[in-house]
Amino acid sequence: MNLAFLGSSGTREEMYSATALQLEPQADAFMECRDNLAFMRPLPSETMQLIVTSPPYNIGKAYESRSPLDTYVNAQAEVIAECVRLLHPRGSLCWQVGNHVQKGEIFPLDMVLYPIFAKHGLHMRNRIIWHFEHGLHCSKRLSGRYETILWFTKNDEYVFNLDAIRVPSKYPNKKYFKGPRVGQLSCNPLGKNPGDVWIFPNVKNNHVEKTAHPCQFPVELVERLVLPLTEPGDCVLDPYMGVGSTIIAAAKHGRIGYGCDVDPEYVDIAWDRLDQLRTGTLRTRPVGRPVYDPSKPYGGHR
């Protein structure tokens, strides 16, 4: 479904930055250097099968302005409300967040933001833990090595294709030892449910996907959301797309990506990455690769 630019004002040249103009928008992706509310409001309601994003954490990164926590929450409430409007009745909304830190005290943003989602009547299906090994080394508290993904749906009937993300079983040939099914496999031959604790390397200097963005999504993390929660041809939205990892994950699997960011450098990088994907030159970390292999250079991350 081609929804791009519905209700948008201005020419294409005004909506895309210089580098982006080198690549004509195609059916698999629509990205703009634009405020997310301005980007989303012209789009028709209930057209996004999956909305997945990681908003700023209000901790003073280069791409955000630090503000009082209540101001930040109010701004998030506006964006979330627009996302709920755009979400398909059988769709999913995945909000990936970490901690806001103020004077050495942490405020888990999933807990802070949950009441906003609940107010819209969304149903939380999982609170997914994303574990990684690299990050800031703390001296007065334990170093943070996980963030969360809140997965919500609008209704009790929603798309969930578990077989698309099964992982190898610990005991793949395990069989029933008694009862009417004795001798038959007791596990799913396609693998097991990956559970709600996910281990993916975060994108740091040795990561093959590293760009100028300090906190970008690993593509394989988004793939694990795109594959079970959408079908080919569905629309996927990221209102804080950064350098476009969500759009890349969507396009890799025949979905249509929509995204925006207010930083023109990041939007340019996103279009360049998509161009590389289309030409077969984009390097991404393969799904299923071990997190660290000491026998390989850089632990196998490159």
**Structural domains of the chain, ranges and CATH numbers in brackets:** 12-166+194-290 (3.40.50.150)
Position of tokens 């996103």?
270
Q: Give bridge partners of residue 48 from the DSSP assignment.
A: 87
Q: Is the pLDDT of residue 65 over 60?
A: yes
Predicted confidence band of residue 63 (pLDDT cuts 50, 70, 90)? low
pLDDT of residue 93: 98
pLDDT in tens, 2-56: 554 443 333 333 333 333 323 344 558 999 999 999 999 999 999 999 999 999 8
Q: What's the CA gap between 153 and 125, in Å, rounded?
A: 7
Total Cβ atoms within 10 A of residue 17:
17
Q: Is the pLDDT of residue 73 over 60?
A: yes
Q: Is the pLDDT of residue 299 over 90?
A: no
Assign 3-state DSSP to the chain and report helix, strand, coil percentages, each to 5.
30, 20, 50
Q: Are 117 and 95 in contact (CB under 8 A)?
A: yes
Q: Are 244 and 259 in contact (CB under 8 A)?
A: yes
Q: What's the CA gap between 228 and 125, in Å, rounded?
A: 13
Residue with the bigger pLDDT between 280 and 15: it is 280
Residue with the bigger pLDDT between 201 and 267: it is 267
Total Cβ atoms within 10 A of residue 70:
9
pLDDT in tens, 175-209: 878 888 887 887 888 889 999 999 988 777 777 77
- Please state, rounded to an integer, the average pLDDT across all residues of the chain: 84
**What is the helix (H) or strand (E) element at residue 126, kind and residue range?**
strand 123-131
Q: What's the CA gap between 133 and 202, in Å, rounded?
A: 8
The pTM is what?
Answer: 0.84
Q: What's the CA gap between 226 and 235, in Å, rounded?
A: 10
Q: What's the CA gap between 67 and 73, in Å, rounded?
A: 10
